[in-house]
Chains A and B, each alone.
Chain A
C-alpha cells in the first residue's frame, strides 16, 4: 500500500500527472456515495468522473498543508451539485418517504411511526428551504459526518463561519419544524 499522503501524491502529480490516478483510487467510492445520496446513483455516476477531472485540472490550487484531499473533493462536489438542485430536491423527498416507511415497518413503534410519516417529509421540505450555504454545511456535517474543520476546508470558509451557518441552519430547521407559537397557545 502506498503510504504517501494525498498532499504528497498531488504534489508529485504536478510533474507526473498519472500519479493523480491514485487520488481517484483512494476517494472515488466515497465521493460517488456522497453524490449518490444527493442526486441519486444514475446522475452521480455521470458526475464522479467530471468531479475528478475538475480536481485534476485544479490540483495546483490544492493546499499542501492538508494531508487529506477528501474535504477538497467534497467542496468541488458541492459546487457541481448546485447545478442539480431540482434532482436533489426529488432525492431528498424520496429519502424522507423511505425513512418514514422504515419507521412504519417497525411495529413496536407505532406512535413513533405515525410521527415519522408526518415529520420526515417536513424535515425534507425544511432542509430544501434552507439557503444554499446553510443547506450545504448541514448536509456535509449531518450526512457526510464531516467535522467542523473538514466542512470549513470543503467550503473554503473560516471555521467560525461554518459554526454560525450550522447554528443558523439548526435554528431555521427548528423554526420550520415546530408548530407556530400562536397555534400551540391556541391548542392548549
Chain B
C-alpha cells in the first residue's frame, strides 16, 4: 500500500454537536455587528441656533 493511502486510512470523522455550529456563528455575527455599528452611526446634523 502507498504511503498516501496509509495516511488516508488514518482519517477519522470527529463527531460534533449541532449546537457547536450555532456557537461558531455567534462569534462571527458578533464580529459582523462590531463592523456594522460604526458604519451605520446616525449622522449628526447641527441644529440651527435659535
Seen from chain A, the residues whose Cβ lies within 8 Å of a Cβ on chain B are: 17-18, 20-21, 24-25, 28-29, 32-33, 35-37, 40-41, 44-45, 48-50, 52-53, 56-57, 91-92, 94-96, 98-99, 119-120, 123-124, 126-127, 138-139, 141-143, 166, 169-170, 173-174, 177
Q: Which of chain B's residues have a CB closer than 8 A to the CB of A20?
A: 28, 32
Is B7 within 8 A of A127, CB to CB?
Answer: yes
Nearest-CB residue, chain A, relative to B13: A33
Smallest CB gap from B35: residue in A: A17
B3 on interface, CB distance cutoff 8 Å = yes
Task: Report which B residues bind A (CB closer than 8 A).
Answer: 2-4, 6-17, 20-21, 23-32, 35-36, 39
Most buried by B among A36, A91, A98: A36
Do B23 and A45 have beta carbons less than 8 Å apart? yes
Residues of chain A contacted by B15 (CB below 8 angstroms): 36, 41
A128–B41 Cα distance when bound, in Å, is 50
Query: Besides A49-B24, A53-B28, 9 other CB < 8 A contacts?
Result: A18-B32, A18-B36, A24-B28, A32-B21, A35-B14, A56-B28, A96-B10, A142-B11, A170-B4
